[in-house]
Every structure is written in structure tokens, then in C-alpha cells.
Structure 1
Amino acid sequence: MSDETTRQDGVGGPDELERLWTPHRMAYIRGENKPADGTSGECPFCRIPKLGDEEGLVVRRGDLAYAVLNLYPYAPGHLMVCPYRHIADYTETTDEEAAEIAGLTRQAMRVVRAVSGADGFNIGMNQGHIAGAGIAAHLHQHVVPRWLGDQNFMPIIGRTKTLPELLVDTRALLAEAWS
């Protein structure tokens, strides 16, 4: 390994670590092109329920919450469960909202597993910008299906996510299976 590969522009001392630079991530970190989310009128999670299911990528509607495909999925079938009410923090949910979010999450796992054979799931909420919430003003829980060997070099080196079908097709498949 040469000095050139271990040092960047003479900054720092040489080490044995290789580096994969992903400067495109700075746009995300700076919040560039992020949808407005400060008020319920500007929030995408408040606008989605007003759209038709196909247009809004809504998979299932409950009384207090709904399941929607992520427009920027980490993996095929990546859903989010959102309360209709514009709240930011999980502790602000009513008992009824929390129960429906949990129920929709459980059913989302069953449906995605049935139609795709997912081996596992990442389930979680990023509470606040500092915790990684892209839209921190409206609570949403991620349901991300996972398969053995699903994450490889493509997103890091190739700056490419491989998704096997269009989101509208995934939405239709999951909505039909949910029924």
C-alpha cells in the first residue's frame, strides 16, 4: 500500500486502513432537497393519506395509522407505518395509536414475508434529526425486509440500489396480499 492510498492530501498520518469516500452523502447530511416537514400542511406524511392508495403508495389504511412504501427504500418492500396525526415523538402517541402502529407493523412483516420470503427485518424509529430521522416532524416506523446477502458493494461503491420492481408494482402486490 502506498503513502498515497493511506493519506489524503498529506493530512493525518499513514495507517493501514483503506477508505471508500462517499462525498455524495454530504447532500443528505446537509438536508439538501429534503421535503419540508415543519408543519402538518407541508409534511409528506400528512399529504400522503389525502392521495389515492396507488398515487401515495399506501399499502394499508387503519383508523389511526397507515402503512406506506418508502419512496427511497433501503431494500425492496421497505414500508413505513405512520400515524395520521402530525406528531414527532413516539411518546406523544395515544395508547390507541401505539397499538395500531404495532399491529400494522406486525401485519406488514407477515405480508412481506409471505410475498417475498424475507429472512429477517429491521424495525425502528429514528427519533429526531440527530438520530437520523429524514423527516423528524412526523413519526414513522420503518419496516425493512432483509435477505441473506442482500447488502453488498452496490450501494457503497456503485452508488446504486438494486430494486427488482417498480414501487407501484410492489405496492399492488403487498396491498393484495394484505387483503
Structure 2
Amino acid sequence: NGWDLDLAVNTIPDTSWKITNNAFNGTLNTPQDIPTGTTYQVITGSSLTVTVPPGYNQSIVTLNFDGWGDVDQTGVSMGSLRFQIAQTGTSAATYTSTTVTSWAATNTGARTRYTFPAAYSISNLAPGTYTFNLLVVREGELGAVPNAVNVWGIQSTAKVYSRN
């Protein structure tokens, strides 16, 4: 006397990537002198904190740091800045040589400007809270020693992508 209906239910899990957390520090214009030497310096304002949530099989944290600065040189010179990322929180790690930027000054007494993009992805961190900082060191300088090498500003973003 009637219909016997069976419903087909989709049992395939959702495997699409989702943004499950993000961080943005805004645009910061805070001058910071980068001293000579071999010790990496944390770039002021680069800090980002994100949470990798539990309950997912895979995660990727993408980090983007875009910055700018200048060199106040005393004569013809050149050099570079090397960047790395320090991770603290649930687990600690250092990601070395994430990017390098170079500068060359051919005019005595003028400021030479530079920019740097540092982008990095980290896969499958354990669930927890992590803080990332961009670090910089001067290297490979030739010619006249600059009066100052400065980072003038940075804009940092982080996104946590997760999926089952």
C-alpha cells in the first residue's frame, strides 16, 4: 500500500581544507637598528600567535612577513640580511634561511632602501598554541661600514589550515 523509501546518506568525510585560526599584527612602523655580528635579532612587531586545533588529521600553518628598511651608508658598500623564524609554544623550533635580501649603496650619504618578503609553511604541527617571530642578521657586507642598517616596518600574517 505504500512506498518503501531508503535514504542514501553520504558517508564520505569532508576532506576540504578550512581556515581554523589566523593572526594579523597590522602594519607596524617601528624603527629598529640591526647591529653587526652573528646573533639573530627578533624583528620588533613580527610576533604572531596561532592555535592549531585538535580533531583534524592534517594542518598547515602559513606565515607571511613583509617588511622594509634602509641603510645609512658612509660610502660605497653592499650587504645582505638573512632571516629565520623562531617557533615557541607547544613545541619549539627554528626554521633557518627562510629568505635573504640584499642592498647595494653607490652614493655616499644617501639612504638605500630595501624590502623583504618572508613566506614559510609548516605542516602537521601538534594541536596547541604557537608563537612565531621573524629574526634577522646582517651578513656579507663589503665596502664602507654603514652608519646603520634599519628595519622600519613589518606586516605579519599567519593562517592555520586544517582538514580531516
TM-score, L = length of structure 2: 0.29
- Which of the pair has more CA radius of gyration? 2
Q: Which has the higher strand share?
A: 2
Higher relative contact order (CA 8 A, sep 6+): 2
Q: Which has the higher helix share?
A: 1
TM-score, L = length of structure 1: 0.27
